[in-house]
Homo-oligomer: A and B are copies of this chain.
Amino acid sequence: MSAAQSTTPPHETQPSGTQPVRLMGVQARAAARVLRSLPTARKVSALHAIAAGLRANAAAILAANAQDVQAAIEAGLPEPMVARLRLDARMLDGIAADVEAVSRLPDPVGETTPAQTQPSGIRVSTRRVPLGVLGVIYESRPNVTVDVAALALMSGNAVILRGGKETVRSNAALEAVIHAALRAQGLPADGVQVIRDPARERMLELLKLDDLVDAIIPRGGAGLHRYCVENATVPVIVGGIGVVHVYLDPSFTRDPEDRARALEIVRNAKVQKPSACNALDTLLIHEDALDALPDIARDLQAHGVTLRTDPTAHAALSAAGITTDPATDTDYGTEFLALTASVKTVPSFEDALDFIAARGNHTDVILTRDEAQAGRFIEDVDSAAVVVNASPRFNDGGQLGLGAEVAISTQKLHARGPMGLRELTTTKWIVEGNGEVRM
Protein backbone atom coordinates (compact mmCIF):
# COMPACT_ATOMS: atom_id res chain seq x y z
CA MET A 1 0.00 0.00 0.00
CA SER A 2 1.43 3.35 -0.98
CA ALA A 3 0.44 5.09 2.25
CA ALA A 4 2.49 2.56 4.13
CA GLN A 5 5.45 3.17 1.83
CA SER A 6 5.34 6.95 2.19
CA THR A 7 8.85 8.25 2.79
CA THR A 8 7.76 11.24 4.87
CA PRO A 9 7.40 10.20 8.51
CA PRO A 10 3.79 11.03 9.45
CA HIS A 11 4.70 13.24 12.39
CA GLU A 12 6.64 15.61 10.11
CA THR A 13 3.63 16.46 7.93
CA GLN A 14 2.49 20.09 8.15
CA PRO A 15 -0.05 20.15 10.97
CA SER A 16 -3.36 21.50 9.68
CA GLY A 17 -4.58 22.06 13.22
CA THR A 18 -2.32 25.09 13.67
CA GLN A 19 -4.33 26.96 11.03
CA PRO A 20 -7.25 29.24 11.80
CA VAL A 21 -10.48 27.26 12.10
CA ARG A 22 -12.17 29.32 9.37
CA LEU A 23 -9.38 28.42 6.94
CA MET A 24 -9.84 24.76 7.88
CA GLY A 25 -13.52 25.18 7.03
CA VAL A 26 -12.72 26.66 3.61
CA GLN A 27 -10.31 23.80 2.91
CA ALA A 28 -12.84 21.22 4.12
CA ARG A 29 -15.48 22.68 1.78
CA ALA A 30 -13.11 22.38 -1.19
CA ALA A 31 -12.26 18.81 -0.22
CA ALA A 32 -15.95 17.99 0.24
CA ARG A 33 -16.63 18.97 -3.38
CA VAL A 34 -14.18 16.26 -4.50
CA LEU A 35 -15.28 13.65 -1.97
CA ARG A 36 -18.99 13.98 -2.69
CA SER A 37 -18.66 12.65 -6.23
CA LEU A 38 -16.24 9.77 -5.57
CA PRO A 39 -17.30 6.34 -6.77
CA THR A 40 -17.65 3.79 -3.98
CA ALA A 41 -14.55 1.90 -5.13
CA ARG A 42 -12.32 4.92 -4.58
CA LYS A 43 -13.68 5.44 -1.08
CA VAL A 44 -13.08 1.76 -0.32
CA SER A 45 -9.49 2.08 -1.59
CA ALA A 46 -8.95 5.15 0.55
CA LEU A 47 -10.14 3.33 3.67
CA HIS A 48 -7.92 0.35 2.86
CA ALA A 49 -4.98 2.72 2.46
CA ILE A 50 -5.74 4.29 5.85
CA ALA A 51 -5.97 0.87 7.52
CA ALA A 52 -2.66 -0.15 5.94
CA GLY A 53 -1.12 3.16 6.99
CA LEU A 54 -2.22 2.65 10.59
CA ARG A 55 -0.55 -0.77 10.67
CA ALA A 56 2.61 0.36 8.87
CA ASN A 57 3.03 3.40 11.12
CA ALA A 58 2.06 1.69 14.36
CA ALA A 59 5.39 2.51 16.02
CA ALA A 60 5.09 6.26 15.38
CA ILE A 61 1.44 6.33 16.48
CA LEU A 62 2.12 4.37 19.68
CA ALA A 63 5.11 6.61 20.46
CA ALA A 64 2.93 9.74 20.14
CA ASN A 65 0.23 8.05 22.22
CA ALA A 66 2.77 7.13 24.91
CA GLN A 67 3.67 10.82 25.19
CA ASP A 68 -0.02 11.69 25.63
CA VAL A 69 -0.41 9.02 28.29
CA GLN A 70 2.72 10.16 30.11
CA ALA A 71 1.52 13.78 30.08
CA ALA A 72 -1.91 12.74 31.32
CA ILE A 73 -0.43 10.77 34.21
CA GLU A 74 1.83 13.70 35.11
CA ALA A 75 -1.20 16.01 35.01
CA GLY A 76 -2.97 13.70 37.46
CA LEU A 77 -5.74 12.56 35.10
CA PRO A 78 -7.92 9.89 36.78
CA GLU A 79 -6.99 6.34 35.81
CA PRO A 80 -10.25 5.57 33.88
CA MET A 81 -9.56 8.55 31.62
CA VAL A 82 -5.95 7.53 31.14
CA ALA A 83 -7.21 4.06 30.21
CA ARG A 84 -9.48 5.48 27.49
CA LEU A 85 -6.54 7.39 26.11
CA ARG A 86 -4.07 4.51 25.96
CA LEU A 87 -3.44 2.57 22.74
CA ASP A 88 -1.46 -0.60 22.24
CA ALA A 89 -0.52 -2.58 19.15
CA ARG A 90 -3.50 -4.90 19.46
CA MET A 91 -5.95 -2.01 19.82
CA LEU A 92 -4.41 -0.19 16.88
CA ASP A 93 -4.83 -3.30 14.77
CA GLY A 94 -8.47 -3.43 15.91
CA ILE A 95 -8.93 0.20 14.85
CA ALA A 96 -7.51 -0.61 11.42
CA ALA A 97 -9.87 -3.59 11.18
CA ASP A 98 -12.78 -1.29 12.05
CA VAL A 99 -11.81 0.98 9.16
CA GLU A 100 -11.87 -2.02 6.85
CA ALA A 101 -15.26 -2.99 8.27
CA VAL A 102 -16.63 0.47 7.44
CA SER A 103 -15.34 0.05 3.88
CA ARG A 104 -17.57 -3.03 3.54
CA LEU A 105 -20.78 -1.17 4.50
CA PRO A 106 -23.24 -0.34 1.73
CA ASP A 107 -22.60 3.14 0.28
CA PRO A 108 -25.82 5.18 0.55
CA VAL A 109 -24.55 7.99 -1.70
CA GLY A 110 -26.11 8.14 -5.14
CA GLU A 111 -29.32 6.26 -4.32
CA THR A 112 -31.90 7.88 -6.58
CA THR A 113 -35.68 7.60 -6.33
CA PRO A 114 -37.58 6.69 -9.50
CA ALA A 115 -38.41 9.84 -11.49
CA GLN A 116 -42.06 10.89 -11.22
CA THR A 117 -43.49 12.91 -14.08
CA GLN A 118 -45.52 15.83 -12.76
CA PRO A 119 -48.56 17.41 -14.48
CA SER A 120 -46.25 20.20 -15.76
CA GLY A 121 -44.20 17.59 -17.65
CA ILE A 122 -41.06 17.82 -15.51
CA ARG A 123 -39.54 14.59 -14.21
CA VAL A 124 -38.74 14.74 -10.49
CA SER A 125 -36.48 12.51 -8.44
CA THR A 126 -34.28 12.80 -5.37
CA ARG A 127 -30.70 11.64 -5.03
CA ARG A 128 -28.89 10.81 -1.80
CA VAL A 129 -25.77 12.97 -1.36
CA PRO A 130 -23.25 13.55 1.43
CA LEU A 131 -24.04 16.23 4.03
CA GLY A 132 -20.82 18.02 3.03
CA VAL A 133 -18.65 19.14 5.95
CA LEU A 134 -19.12 17.64 9.42
CA GLY A 135 -17.77 18.99 12.68
CA VAL A 136 -17.35 16.27 15.29
CA ILE A 137 -16.43 17.12 18.88
CA TYR A 138 -15.50 14.26 21.17
CA GLU A 139 -13.75 13.03 24.22
CA SER A 140 -10.14 11.91 24.63
CA ARG A 141 -10.44 8.65 22.73
CA PRO A 142 -7.97 8.30 19.85
CA ASN A 143 -9.98 5.44 18.33
CA VAL A 144 -12.86 7.87 17.71
CA THR A 145 -10.59 10.01 15.53
CA VAL A 146 -10.12 7.14 13.12
CA ASP A 147 -13.67 5.75 13.39
CA VAL A 148 -15.27 9.09 12.60
CA ALA A 149 -12.82 9.84 9.80
CA ALA A 150 -13.63 6.49 8.19
CA LEU A 151 -17.40 6.98 8.48
CA ALA A 152 -17.15 10.53 7.12
CA LEU A 153 -15.01 9.53 4.13
CA MET A 154 -17.09 6.46 3.32
CA SER A 155 -20.20 8.65 3.21
CA GLY A 156 -18.41 11.19 0.98
CA ASN A 157 -18.07 13.89 3.63
CA ALA A 158 -15.19 16.04 4.78
CA VAL A 159 -14.79 16.25 8.55
CA ILE A 160 -13.20 18.61 11.05
CA LEU A 161 -12.36 16.75 14.26
CA ARG A 162 -11.96 18.29 17.68
CA GLY A 163 -10.93 15.63 20.17
CA GLY A 164 -10.09 15.99 23.84
CA LYS A 165 -6.98 17.96 24.68
CA GLU A 166 -5.26 14.94 26.24
CA THR A 167 -5.06 13.25 22.81
CA VAL A 168 -3.35 16.04 20.86
CA ARG A 169 -0.20 14.06 20.01
CA SER A 170 -2.05 10.82 19.23
CA ASN A 171 -4.50 12.64 17.00
CA ALA A 172 -1.73 14.48 15.18
CA ALA A 173 -0.02 11.17 14.44
CA LEU A 174 -3.29 9.59 13.30
CA GLU A 175 -4.12 12.62 11.14
CA ALA A 176 -0.71 12.42 9.51
CA VAL A 177 -1.29 8.76 8.59
CA ILE A 178 -4.73 9.59 7.20
CA HIS A 179 -3.31 12.52 5.20
CA ALA A 180 -0.54 10.40 3.73
CA ALA A 181 -3.06 7.72 2.74
CA LEU A 182 -5.42 10.24 1.15
CA ARG A 183 -2.59 11.92 -0.80
CA ALA A 184 -1.27 8.59 -1.99
CA GLN A 185 -4.78 7.88 -3.31
CA GLY A 186 -4.89 11.22 -5.13
CA LEU A 187 -7.51 12.55 -2.71
CA PRO A 188 -7.54 15.85 -0.82
CA ALA A 189 -5.91 15.48 2.61
CA ASP A 190 -8.13 18.32 3.85
CA GLY A 191 -11.02 15.87 3.83
CA VAL A 192 -9.96 15.01 7.40
CA GLN A 193 -8.58 17.81 9.59
CA VAL A 194 -7.90 17.83 13.32
CA ILE A 195 -8.13 21.02 15.40
CA ARG A 196 -5.06 20.74 17.60
CA ASP A 197 -5.39 23.89 19.64
CA PRO A 198 -7.37 22.71 22.68
CA ALA A 199 -8.64 26.22 23.56
CA ARG A 200 -12.41 26.40 23.86
CA GLU A 201 -12.34 29.49 21.58
CA ARG A 202 -11.33 27.23 18.67
CA MET A 203 -14.30 24.98 19.33
CA LEU A 204 -16.55 28.03 19.50
CA GLU A 205 -15.23 29.15 16.09
CA LEU A 206 -16.15 25.76 14.69
CA LEU A 207 -19.67 26.00 16.17
CA LYS A 208 -20.23 29.33 14.40
CA LEU A 209 -19.00 28.32 10.91
CA ASP A 210 -22.53 27.96 9.52
CA ASP A 211 -21.52 29.10 6.05
CA LEU A 212 -18.98 26.27 5.79
CA VAL A 213 -19.98 23.42 8.11
CA ASP A 214 -23.24 21.51 7.59
CA ALA A 215 -23.63 19.73 10.92
CA ILE A 216 -22.03 19.56 14.34
CA ILE A 217 -22.07 16.20 16.09
CA PRO A 218 -20.99 16.39 19.72
CA ARG A 219 -20.10 13.18 21.52
CA GLY A 220 -19.67 13.37 25.25
CA GLY A 221 -21.41 14.53 28.36
CA ALA A 222 -24.54 16.60 28.83
CA GLY A 223 -22.43 19.71 29.46
CA LEU A 224 -20.78 19.53 26.03
CA HIS A 225 -24.13 18.99 24.32
CA ARG A 226 -25.66 21.94 26.15
CA TYR A 227 -22.70 24.13 25.25
CA CYS A 228 -23.08 23.23 21.57
CA VAL A 229 -26.87 23.76 21.54
CA GLU A 230 -26.53 27.14 23.21
CA ASN A 231 -23.62 28.44 21.15
CA ALA A 232 -23.73 26.82 17.72
CA THR A 233 -25.17 28.51 14.66
CA VAL A 234 -24.34 25.33 12.71
CA PRO A 235 -27.15 22.78 13.17
CA VAL A 236 -26.29 20.41 16.02
CA ILE A 237 -27.29 16.76 16.31
CA VAL A 238 -27.76 16.16 20.00
CA GLY A 239 -27.30 12.65 21.23
CA GLY A 240 -26.46 10.18 23.86
CA ILE A 241 -28.22 11.97 26.71
CA GLY A 242 -31.38 10.42 28.04
CA VAL A 243 -33.15 8.27 30.56
CA VAL A 244 -33.77 4.53 30.15
CA HIS A 245 -36.84 2.88 31.70
CA VAL A 246 -37.71 -0.81 31.99
CA TYR A 247 -41.36 -1.53 32.78
CA LEU A 248 -42.07 -4.97 34.28
CA ASP A 249 -45.66 -6.13 33.78
CA PRO A 250 -47.20 -8.89 35.97
CA SER A 251 -47.79 -10.97 32.80
CA PHE A 252 -44.01 -11.41 32.56
CA THR A 253 -43.67 -12.66 36.15
CA ARG A 254 -46.11 -15.61 36.23
CA ASP A 255 -43.91 -18.16 34.49
CA PRO A 256 -40.67 -19.00 36.35
CA GLU A 257 -38.75 -18.86 33.06
CA ASP A 258 -40.08 -15.37 32.42
CA ARG A 259 -39.05 -14.34 35.93
CA ALA A 260 -35.56 -15.57 35.21
CA ARG A 261 -35.59 -13.69 31.87
CA ALA A 262 -36.78 -10.49 33.56
CA LEU A 263 -33.98 -10.75 36.13
CA GLU A 264 -31.41 -11.31 33.38
CA ILE A 265 -32.66 -8.42 31.26
CA VAL A 266 -32.66 -6.00 34.20
CA ARG A 267 -29.18 -7.13 35.21
CA ASN A 268 -27.92 -6.77 31.63
CA ALA A 269 -29.58 -3.38 31.36
CA LYS A 270 -27.90 -2.03 34.48
CA VAL A 271 -24.69 -3.95 34.99
CA GLN A 272 -23.19 -4.88 31.63
CA LYS A 273 -21.94 -1.33 30.94
CA PRO A 274 -23.24 1.12 33.52
CA SER A 275 -21.47 4.09 31.89
CA ALA A 276 -23.39 3.62 28.61
CA CYS A 277 -26.25 5.92 27.67
CA ASN A 278 -28.49 2.90 27.00
CA ALA A 279 -28.06 1.46 30.51
CA LEU A 280 -31.09 1.21 32.84
CA ASP A 281 -31.94 4.22 34.98
CA THR A 282 -35.43 3.51 36.36
CA LEU A 283 -37.19 0.20 36.84
CA LEU A 284 -40.98 0.66 36.70
CA ILE A 285 -42.76 -2.23 38.35
CA HIS A 286 -46.49 -2.92 38.35
CA GLU A 287 -47.73 -3.36 41.93
CA ASP A 288 -48.99 -6.84 41.03
CA ALA A 289 -45.46 -7.78 39.97
CA LEU A 290 -43.82 -6.74 43.25
CA ASP A 291 -43.33 -10.35 44.31
CA ALA A 292 -40.73 -10.61 41.54
CA LEU A 293 -38.79 -7.61 42.87
CA PRO A 294 -36.82 -9.18 45.75
CA ASP A 295 -34.93 -11.59 43.47
CA ILE A 296 -34.16 -8.78 41.02
CA ALA A 297 -33.04 -6.44 43.81
CA ARG A 298 -30.84 -9.08 45.43
CA ASP A 299 -29.21 -9.82 42.09
CA LEU A 300 -28.55 -6.15 41.34
CA GLN A 301 -27.14 -5.54 44.82
CA ALA A 302 -24.93 -8.59 44.40
CA HIS A 303 -23.57 -6.86 41.30
CA GLY A 304 -22.85 -3.69 43.27
CA VAL A 305 -25.92 -1.69 42.29
CA THR A 306 -27.31 0.92 44.68
CA LEU A 307 -31.13 0.93 44.56
CA ARG A 308 -33.29 3.95 45.32
CA THR A 309 -36.90 2.90 45.82
CA ASP A 310 -40.33 4.45 46.25
CA PRO A 311 -42.16 3.68 49.55
CA THR A 312 -44.18 0.75 48.12
CA ALA A 313 -41.17 -1.01 46.62
CA HIS A 314 -39.16 -0.13 49.72
CA ALA A 315 -41.73 -1.84 51.95
CA ALA A 316 -41.94 -4.91 49.70
CA LEU A 317 -38.17 -5.27 49.77
CA SER A 318 -37.93 -4.62 53.51
CA ALA A 319 -40.41 -7.42 54.07
CA ALA A 320 -38.02 -9.65 52.11
CA GLY A 321 -35.11 -8.49 54.25
CA ILE A 322 -33.60 -6.22 51.60
CA THR A 323 -32.52 -2.70 52.52
CA THR A 324 -32.59 0.05 49.89
CA ASP A 325 -32.27 3.84 49.86
CA PRO A 326 -35.44 5.89 49.65
CA ALA A 327 -35.80 7.57 46.25
CA THR A 328 -36.36 11.31 45.95
CA ASP A 329 -38.00 13.09 43.01
CA THR A 330 -34.61 13.75 41.43
CA ASP A 331 -33.93 10.00 41.20
CA TYR A 332 -36.57 9.78 38.46
CA GLY A 333 -35.85 11.22 35.02
CA THR A 334 -32.15 11.10 35.92
CA GLU A 335 -29.41 9.47 33.88
CA PHE A 336 -27.11 7.76 36.37
CA LEU A 337 -24.28 6.47 34.12
CA ALA A 338 -23.17 4.47 37.16
CA LEU A 339 -24.15 1.42 39.28
CA THR A 340 -27.26 3.17 40.62
CA ALA A 341 -30.90 2.62 39.66
CA SER A 342 -34.21 3.96 40.87
CA VAL A 343 -37.32 1.82 41.29
CA LYS A 344 -40.89 3.08 41.00
CA THR A 345 -44.05 1.07 41.70
CA VAL A 346 -46.99 1.92 39.42
CA PRO A 347 -50.60 0.91 40.04
CA SER A 348 -51.29 0.27 36.37
CA PHE A 349 -49.80 -0.03 32.89
CA GLU A 350 -51.35 3.36 32.03
CA ASP A 351 -49.44 4.94 34.90
CA ALA A 352 -46.24 3.47 33.49
CA LEU A 353 -47.02 5.07 30.11
CA ASP A 354 -47.68 8.43 31.78
CA PHE A 355 -44.46 8.17 33.77
CA ILE A 356 -42.44 7.45 30.63
CA ALA A 357 -44.26 10.16 28.63
CA ALA A 358 -43.04 12.70 31.17
CA ARG A 359 -39.42 11.50 31.28
CA GLY A 360 -38.46 9.15 28.43
CA ASN A 361 -36.74 10.01 25.15
CA HIS A 362 -33.84 7.57 24.74
CA THR A 363 -34.68 3.87 25.20
CA ASP A 364 -37.72 2.38 26.95
CA VAL A 365 -38.39 -1.31 27.50
CA ILE A 366 -41.55 -3.26 28.32
CA LEU A 367 -41.41 -6.80 29.66
CA THR A 368 -44.84 -8.32 28.99
CA ARG A 369 -46.61 -11.39 27.66
CA ASP A 370 -49.65 -9.33 26.59
CA GLU A 371 -49.30 -8.61 22.88
CA ALA A 372 -51.95 -5.89 22.79
CA GLN A 373 -50.18 -4.16 25.65
CA ALA A 374 -46.84 -4.44 23.83
CA GLY A 375 -48.46 -2.87 20.78
CA ARG A 376 -49.81 -0.01 22.82
CA PHE A 377 -46.40 0.54 24.43
CA ILE A 378 -44.75 0.68 21.00
CA GLU A 379 -47.41 3.13 19.82
CA ASP A 380 -47.51 5.42 22.83
CA VAL A 381 -43.88 5.64 23.91
CA ASP A 382 -42.14 8.36 21.91
CA SER A 383 -38.47 7.51 22.40
CA ALA A 384 -35.59 6.92 20.01
CA ALA A 385 -35.94 3.18 20.67
CA VAL A 386 -38.86 1.21 22.05
CA VAL A 387 -37.99 -2.34 23.12
CA VAL A 388 -40.24 -5.31 23.87
CA ASN A 389 -38.85 -8.17 25.97
CA ALA A 390 -35.16 -7.47 25.42
CA SER A 391 -32.38 -5.40 26.96
CA PRO A 392 -32.19 -1.63 26.31
CA ARG A 393 -28.49 -2.16 25.63
CA PHE A 394 -29.49 -3.17 22.07
CA ASN A 395 -30.01 0.51 21.18
CA ASP A 396 -26.63 0.63 19.48
CA GLY A 397 -25.63 0.98 15.83
CA GLY A 398 -23.88 -2.36 15.62
CA GLN A 399 -26.70 -4.24 17.40
CA LEU A 400 -29.46 -2.66 15.28
CA GLY A 401 -27.70 -3.60 12.05
CA LEU A 402 -26.13 -0.28 10.99
CA GLY A 403 -22.65 -1.76 11.04
CA ALA A 404 -21.11 1.26 12.75
CA GLU A 405 -22.29 4.45 14.35
CA VAL A 406 -20.93 7.96 14.59
CA ALA A 407 -23.23 8.89 17.50
CA ILE A 408 -26.67 8.14 18.99
CA SER A 409 -29.13 10.95 18.35
CA THR A 410 -31.79 11.66 20.94
CA GLN A 411 -33.31 14.55 19.02
CA LYS A 412 -35.98 14.06 16.42
CA LEU A 413 -34.75 16.15 13.52
CA HIS A 414 -32.69 14.42 10.82
CA ALA A 415 -31.68 11.30 12.73
CA ARG A 416 -32.99 9.48 15.76
CA GLY A 417 -31.12 6.78 17.55
CA PRO A 418 -27.84 5.35 16.22
CA MET A 419 -26.42 7.27 13.25
CA GLY A 420 -24.65 5.25 10.59
CA LEU A 421 -23.47 6.14 7.09
CA ARG A 422 -26.98 6.92 5.86
CA GLU A 423 -27.51 9.50 8.62
CA LEU A 424 -24.41 11.33 7.34
CA THR A 425 -26.18 12.01 4.06
CA THR A 426 -29.02 14.18 2.81
CA THR A 427 -30.89 14.37 -0.49
CA LYS A 428 -31.17 16.83 -3.34
CA TRP A 429 -34.06 17.29 -5.73
CA ILE A 430 -33.41 16.64 -9.41
CA VAL A 431 -35.74 18.18 -11.95
CA GLU A 432 -35.38 17.23 -15.62
CA GLY A 433 -37.44 19.06 -18.21
CA ASN A 434 -37.67 19.99 -21.82
CA GLY A 435 -38.21 23.71 -21.68
CA GLU A 436 -41.06 23.71 -19.13
CA VAL A 437 -41.93 26.94 -17.37
CA ARG A 438 -44.18 27.53 -14.38
CA MET A 439 -47.72 28.62 -15.17
Contact = CB atoms under 8 A, between A and B. Distances in A.
B399 A438 contact: yes
A55 interface: no
A312 interface: no
Interface string A122-139: 101001010110000000
How many A residues touch the partner, as a band?
35 or more
Chain A contact residues: over half helix, strand or loop, or mixed?
mixed
A215 B411 CA distance: 10
A98 B118 CA distance: 19
Contacts of A389: 432-436
Contacts of A237: 413
Contacts of A428: 382-386, 416-417
A388 B264 CA distance: 59
A106 to B, nearest CB: 13
Contacts of A235: 235-236, 411, 413
B37 A387 contact: no
Interface in A248-287: 258, 261, 264-265, 267-268, 272
Interface in A108-124: 116, 118, 120, 122, 124
A379 interface: yes
A320 interface: no
Contacts of A132: 382, 412
B433 A36 contact: no
A427 interface: yes
Interface stretch (A86-94, A198-206, A390-398): A390-398
B391 A438 contact: yes
Instruction: Please indicate which of the listed interface residues A265, A417, A426, A432 has the most CB atoms of chain B within 10 Å of its own CB.
Output: A426
B357 A215 contact: no
Contact of A437 (B131, B390, B433, B436): B390
Contact of A385 (B120, B385, B412, B429): B429
Contacts of A36: 382
A99 B437 CA distance: 27
A59 interface: no
A229 B233 contact: yes
A186 interface: no
Interface string A408-432: 0001111011100000001111111
Contacts of A401: 116, 118, 124
Nearest to A236: B235
Interface in A1-45: 33, 36-37
Contacts of A236: 235
A215 B412 contact: yes
A295 interface: no
Given A37-B379, A416-B426, 7 more contacts: A127-B378, A385-B428, A386-B430, A389-B432, A391-B437, A413-B413, A416-B429
Interface of A: 33, 36-37, 116, 118, 120, 122, 124, 127, 129, 131-132, 210, 214-215, 229-230, 233, 235-237, 258, 261, 264-265, 267-268, 272, 357, 374, 378-380, 382-391, 393-396, 399-401, 411-414, 416-418, 426-438
